[in-house]
Structure 1
Amino acid sequence: MAYAEKRISQAKGSKGKVSWRSRYKKPDGTWGSEPGFPTKKTAEQWGDEQEAAIRAGRWIDPDKMRTPFGVFVRKWMAAQSPRGRTTMNRWERLDTHILPKWEHTPLIAINWFDVDAWARTLKCADSTVKDCIGLMSLILTGAVDAQHLTVNPLFGRRRASKAADNVGDQQVRTTEVGWAPPEAVLQVAERLGPANGLHLITAAFLGPRWGEGIALHRDNTLLTRREPYDGGTFECPIIRINQEVAEYIRRGPDGSRQGAVHQLEPVKNRWSVRDIDVPPFLAQLLRLHLDDWPHPFVFCTPSGKWWWRNGWWELLRPAADGRKARPRARGRAVKEAWEPIWPGLTMRMSRHTADTYQAQIGVHPVLAHEQAGHRYPGIKGTYQHPTPEMRQQRLAGLQMIFERAMRNLGWRTLWGRVDLQKRSPGS
């Protein structure tokens, strides 16, 4: 049975101050203690509550509740086994935003009011703030599972937005363009050249993720989809997405950096494994590219290596943003000046562009989700499936976007390789 011990402080400045320590029997038979109670009765009541919780099987050791958040984070991260890129992203959120504030805070002292107030002070994108709160909630759920807490104080909570915040978000949405018109895509691709330009066009019309695009193997390119349709067979060329090149910083269990990783890994989830239907113009360009490309990976560097993000960034930025002329010098070739075409264009924006084109031409949502590698939500994701007619409509729409862009530019070829416009009979 729990009992209380009287304590008289001997500390300088508080000599003679009386407090009470609660003593209670722990599950292993040893005696636990908790100091700091103002009266004997409160100390005994607290101890009785601990023993009642132990008998009911719901007791949490107070010492574990006081574990610093940063200490538990490292224990939790060491027990996880997500994809390498996910681990790197989590550590970036922890190092940059979360641990500077919460590393030394006891788990039991974390509450929604303080977390919500802290989130409002972060000077980063709203999506990053949501990621930080979501990661903290995930970790605190782990603390509940590890019997360090009874409940997760962040579970199911949503941030309350202020009117001023909403106005700011609306201003960002109305001024930011998250996609690129096809004319701009083709112009930037022309500057990049046949191999790299084709990579950009593929991203903008088919929407593979960055790592999926550079991991595309020639053995998975221009395969054929065959499905029964209208008394015959529907066929179209596809690219098969089943792996990606992962690029991240490997972290040790304690968060220490252990070098860069650049390797093939499985795609992020089962919906990402997919066959993407290729419209006729892009199939023709890919076929020509494969005919004279000596490497196994379709969109690699000229030496056959996978692109690093920063290497591709240095290639794409002047092609999209423009550049100044550079005269010939020793060891440097002359470069002509380039006017900006679509400043800020990235491969992520190109993926957004692909999905935007699909919406523009009215692609059925179940097919649009499949082609993007997303799970179609709700019960309709179980009951609805893409049909050959949906696929034909999508391919025709993408072909139309391309041909219209070529006409608007007044072009008949890309990179001077082949006439891609339809010829009229007898021409």
Structure 2
Amino acid sequence: MGFAENRGTYWRGRYKISLGKYGTVADENGDVIRFRTKREAKQAADAEEAKVRAGSWKDPAAGQITFGEYASRWYAAQDLAASTMQNYRRHLEEHLLPEFEDRPLASIQRTDVDAWEKKEKALYEDDSYRTIDAPRWLARLWTGHIARTQPKPCACHGNTYMFRGQGVSRTGETGAKVVDVARRAGVSTGTVSNVINRPDIVADATRARVREAIEALGFTRGGGAVDQAEHWRRNGFATWLFTSAVSGWYPKKAPQAARPVPVLADTWPGVPARGRGAQARADSCWVPIAKGLTSHGLRHTHKTRMEGFRTPPKLMDERMGHIDGSVQARYSHITREMREELLANLTAEWEASLDARLAVCTTSPVAVLNDLLQERARARR
């Protein structure tokens, strides 16, 4: 049981936490409670030790760590898909840490959380869209893409999205399917598969007939989905496009572990192989561009580059979607000259990246990039 300890001018209660470890009765802030009598200290110590035995005891010192420290420990202990980890980190950095990072956990009351939630709702109540400055070259890409694709409102949300996403079909063909080739050639789908993957075991006449059907239908193995989705979903974008492009690996996603992207070298720079036996059919792989980079990480890069440009904090907050509620921020304003200088700096970095790419190769099989390279090459003459 607990016991009372005489400290000269007061009594304190001591109780057993575990073998060889004792605690001192403290208040919710972790401060030792000073009792006037031995009996009061003994009763308080017995009550704490009873909580330890019942499994309901909480360490008073635990509430003194900051929310930021607790959030870091919690995040490091998670083992989830890359896209989920990315979302958790974004929510922590953009919403929770600005408000609670330096506060001890024990000091955060329900009223504080309610006030924070009310402020968040008011801030993002009409945040379905936001206008930011875009360099002319980027605006041209957007408007050109919209003019070509003529996007329509999606059936799921009623919103109009600029880019279409990965569809539900991942069989490995674009346009015509294996079954279409089989019907045209008058053979089974297995024979078509053999012609594609093991042509030496198929009779010459049959192989020629299947290849003629492939040529006529424009069949391509190893491409993306037959039907594109009306827009990207965050999880699909991270898995099938961003992470695989920058690292050459598909991220961990239950029940599959992280794995290299199986690539078919024809046509250059390679097409991800999909469908059954993709790993066996692959004949090459991609070298990582920036392993570990996430789409959220690009926000950090953008903020760092703006700091390198010495962009005014008010303009940086606007572009990042952050709100500075300090008194100083109320007296600063964004001018047209600030915006123009930032766009000029961003454009200069973009042109420098194109120059670096031109030094590697003056053309690209990717139509958009090839057009940009040719335009930049003409501007340098």
| TM > 0.5 | no
Please give the range of the TM-score, normalised by the shorter of the 2 chains.
0.3 to 0.5
Query: What is the TM-score with the length of structure 1 in the denominator?
Result: 0.39
From the two aligned structures, give the one with the greater helix fraction.
2
From the two aligned structures, give the one with the greater strand fraction.
1
Query: What is the TM-score with the length of structure 2 in the denominator?
Result: 0.43
